[in-house]
Structure 1
Amino acid sequence: MSRHHLNRRQFAGATAALLAAPALTAHAQAYPSRPIRVVVPYPAGGSTDQLARAIQQPLSELLGQPVVIDNRAGAGGTIGTDIVAKAAPDGYTLVFGNTGPNAVVSLLRKVPYDPVADLAPISTVALTPMILAVPVDSPAKTLKEFLAYAKREGDKLNYGSVGNGSLSHLTGEHFNDKAGLKLLHIPYNGGAPMLTAFASGQLHAAFVTGLDGASMLASGKVRYLAVATPAPTDVVPGLPAIADEVPGFASTAWFGLLGPKGLPADLLAKLNSAVVASVARPEVQKLFTERRIEARSSTPKEMEQRIAGEMKHWGEVIRKAGITT
C-alpha cells in the first residue's frame, strides 16, 4: 500500500515538474533573447517617430537585441496603443507613447483600452513645451502685443491645431480660458496640413512644439512669442513664459516608453535602466537640444504620476470648454 502511495506521489511530482519546465526555462532565459518591437502609433517621419528612432540604436546596444520600430498609425494614436495594451506582458511589445493616446484621448471619447489599467509606464524620454507662434507678418511682435491684439479682435482671430481634441487644441482652449480670449479654433488633420495653412497665412496663431515648428521658424515664416512652461526655459531660449502674463497657464507634451500592464518587476527595471542610459547618451542629448526638446527620463512611478496629473488637468480643461470629438 505504501509502495503504491509512493509511486503515485512520485508520478504527481514528475508530472508537475514536466508541466512547469517550459515556464522555468523561459524564466531562467535571459531577457531579452529576441528582437523587441516598439510600436509607434503615428506615421513614419512625424515628431513621435523621430524621437522613438533617436533612442532605437542606443536601446538595441544596451539590451543586446534589435529594437524594431513598427509604425501603426490611426485614430489619434489609439490603434497602435491598443495593440500594446492587449499584448503579452513579456517585454517584447512596447509602445512609444505621448500625451495624446496615453492621457487625453480617453477623456474625449471611448477607446478600446484603459490608459491606466492596461499599460505600464517604463520611462519618459522627452518633454517639449508648447510654443505660441504667429505668422512673421503678424502685427503682434511680443506676447503683450498679442494679448492686446487678441482681446481687441475677439473671435475674428483664429488658432490652428493638429486635430480636434489634440494637445494643441486643448492648449489653445486653456489659453482662451486663462487669458480671457475668444480665439476661434481651426482643426486640421495632422501637423503637416496645419503647418502648411500656417505658412500660407490662413492662421493667426498656433501652439506648436519646437520639433514641429522648426522648419517654419528656419524659413522665416513664423515668429515665436512665448513658451508654455511655468517659467522661461533654456529648452527654447530667449522667450518669455506665457505664465508671466497669464498666471496659471502651462502646457508641456511628453514622450516615453510603456508596455502592457503586468510586466514583471525585473523586466520593468531592466527596460527603465536601458531608457535612462539611452536618454543620457551625448548624441541623443545633442539631437534633442537642437530640436528644442528636453531629454528627460524618469522612474516608472514618476511617469505614472505625470500621466495621472495630466488626465486631471486636461479633464478639467475639456469639461470647462465643452470639447467633444
Structure 2
Amino acid sequence: MTFPVETSRRLAIAALLAPLASTARAQAPAFPTRPITLVVSFPAGGSSDVTARILAEGMARDLGQPVVVENRPGGATVIGAMAVAQAAKDGYTLLFASTSALTTNPHLYQNLPYKVSDFQPVSMVAVAPWIIAVSPTVPARTLREFVDYARQRPGQLNYHSYGPGTGAHLFAAMVLAATGIEAEAIVYRGEAPALTALSTGEIQMMPANISGALIEQHKAGRIRIIAIADAARSPVAPDVPTFAEQGFAGVEASSWFGIAAPSGTPAPVVTRLQRAVAAALAMPDIRARIEGIGFSAQASSPEALGKIIDEHSRLWGGVIQRLGIRLQL
C-alpha cells in the first residue's frame, strides 16, 4: 500500500514527536508541587476553624505539601466563598465549604455575588447535628417537658440567634413549627456570650450545632441538652435522646462541612484532593480529634457531596421560603 507524499510526511513527523510527547508526560510534575491554601469563612478559634486546621494537617501528610488555613470571615461566609470562586482553577486554593455558603445563602440573598455552580465539590469532611439546649433555670429535663413548659408561657421565652437567616434562626424555626411553641430570637455575637446567657437564664432555649464546648457545659450542669436532631444518638453525648425518640419524628437537621475547589479545576487534581481528604480522615488521630469536637468525620466522592448540597438546599430553602426571608448584602 502506498500513501500520498503529504500523508507520508505527516506520519513521519507524528512518529518522531510521539516519543517526545511521551517523555513530556512522564516528566510532568505530580500535583501538588507547592503549598495549598484552605480558605475558612469563619473566625479563628471556632469549631469550624479548628476542624479545618485538623483536616489540613492530615491532608498535608498525604500530599507532601503544606495546607495553609487562611481565615476570611465576614459577610455571612460570602467573603471567603468569593475568594475561592475567583481563584485560579488549579487546585491550590480551596474552600472549607459549609451549609451557609452553598445551601442557604443562595436562597437568602438576592444579590449573592457567586453561584453554587462556581464551585467543584471535592469531598465531605464532617457533619454536625443540630441540638436544643435549655437553661438550668428551666425545670424541664426532657423535650416533652420543655414543650409543656413553653406552651404555658406563650410569648415569654427567648432563644439565641446570630441574626435572620443564620443556621440557629432557621433550625429554631423548624423546632418551633414542629412543637407548636413560641419564642423570640435574641441576637448574640458568638457562641460564648450565648452560652453565658443560657446558663444565667437570659435566654431559655439554644439551638446549636453539637460541639465540644456545649458537651462540656452540659456535663458540668451549666446547660441541659435535651434533644438531638439526628437519626441516632451521638456517641459523644449518648445520654441525649433524639427528637424522634421523644415523639417529634421528622425533626432531623445537620450542618455539613466539605472541601470545594473553583469550578473548572482539572479532574485529576480534584481526584487527588479527594484522595487526600479521605486519607486524612482515615488517620486515627485526625479522625479522633475531629470527632472529639462532636462532629462526625465523613469523607465522600465529589458526586456524593454534590447530592448533599442539593438535598440541604431543598431542606433549608423550604424553611427560608416559609419564613419569607430575603436579605441584602
Distance change (3 Å), C-alpha of 1:146 and 1:324: farther
CA drift of 1:324 comes to 3.9
What corresponds to 1:113 in structure 2? Answer: 114
CA drift of 1:284 comes to 1.8
Question: Is residue 323 from structure 1 mapped to residue 325 from structure 2 by the alignment?
Answer: yes
Moved more, 209-218 or 55-64: 209-218
TM-score normalised by length of structure 1: 0.88
**Which SS does the other structure have where 1:306 is aligned?**
helix
What corresponds to 2:275 in structure 1? Answer: 273
Where does the alignment leave 5 or more consecutive residues of structure 1 unmatched? 1-5
What corresponds to 2:193 in structure 1? Answer: 193
- Distance in structure 1 (CA, Å) of the matches to 2:294 and 2:57: 21
CA drift of 1:309 comes to 0.6
1:261-320 deviations in whole A, cap 9, x for unaligned?
111111111110110110111112221332221111111111110011111111111111
CA drift of 1:206 comes to 0.8
1:36-55 deviations in whole A, cap 9, x for unaligned?
00001111101111000111
- Distance in structure 1 (CA, Å) of the matches to 2:222 and 2:289: 23
Question: Is residue 75 from structure 1 mapped to residue 79 from structure 2 by the alignment?
Answer: no
CA drift of 1:260 comes to 0.5
What corresponds to 2:65 in structure 1? Answer: 65
1:59-78 deviations in whole A, cap 9, x for unaligned?
11100111111111111111
Choose the corresponding residue for 2:315, options 301, 313, 316. Answer: 313
TM alignment of 1:81-120, pairs within 5 A: 81-109=81-109, 110-115=111-116, 117-120=117-120
What corresponds to 2:126 in structure 1? Answer: 126
Choose the corresponding residue for 1:298, options 287, 297, 300. Answer: 300
Question: Is residue 234 from structure 1 mapped to residue 223 from structure 2 by the alignment?
Answer: no
**Which SS does the other structure have where 2:76 is aligned?**
helix
Number of residue-to-residue matches in the alignment? 309
What corresponds to 1:249 in structure 2? Answer: 251
**Which SS does the other structure have where 2:138 is aligned?**
coil
- Distance in structure 2 (CA, Å) of the matches to 1:178 and 1:123: 32
Aligned residue identity for 1:213: L
Question: Is residue 213 from structure 1 mapped to residue 229 from structure 2 by the alignment?
Answer: no
- Distance in structure 1 (CA, Å) of the matches to 2:278 and 2:179: 37
1:73-108 deviations in whole A, cap 9, x for unaligned?
111111011100111110000011211112112211
Question: Is residue 263 from structure 1 mapped to residue 272 from structure 2 by the alignment?
Answer: no
RCO greater where, 1 or 2, for CA within 8 Å and sep 6 or more?
2
1:221-242 deviations in whole A, cap 9, x for unaligned?
1011010113434353122111
Moved more, 248-257 or 180-189: 180-189
- Is the CA contact 1:231–1:243 (under 8 Å) kept in the aligned structure 2? no
Moved more, 85-94 or 240-249: 240-249
Where does the alignment leave 5 or more consecutive residues of structure 2 unmatched? 1-5
- Is the CA contact 1:150–1:157 (under 8 Å) kept in the aligned structure 2? yes
- Distance in structure 2 (CA, Å) of the matches to 1:130 and 1:26: 49
Aligned residue identity for 2:250: G
Aligned residue identity for 2:224: R
Distance change (3 Å), C-alpha of 1:232 and 1:214: closer
What corresponds to 2:3 in structure 1? Answer: none
- Is the CA contact 1:227–1:236 (under 8 Å) kept in the aligned structure 2? no
- Distance in structure 1 (CA, Å) of the matches to 2:41 and 2:26: 29
**Which SS does the other structure have where 1:237 is aligned?**
coil
**Which SS does the other structure have where 2:153 is aligned?**
helix
- Superposed CA RMSD in Å reads 2.4
- Distance in structure 2 (CA, Å) of the matches to 1:193 and 1:226: 21
CA drift of 1:163 comes to 2.9
Moved more, 313-322 or 158-167: 158-167
CA drift of 1:215 comes to 4.4
Aligned residue identity for 2:325: I
- Is the CA contact 1:163–1:190 (under 8 Å) kept in the aligned structure 2? no
TM-score normalised by length of structure 2: 0.87
Aligned residue identity for 2:78: T
What corresponds to 1:3 in structure 2? Answer: none
Moved more, 124-133 or 232-241: 232-241
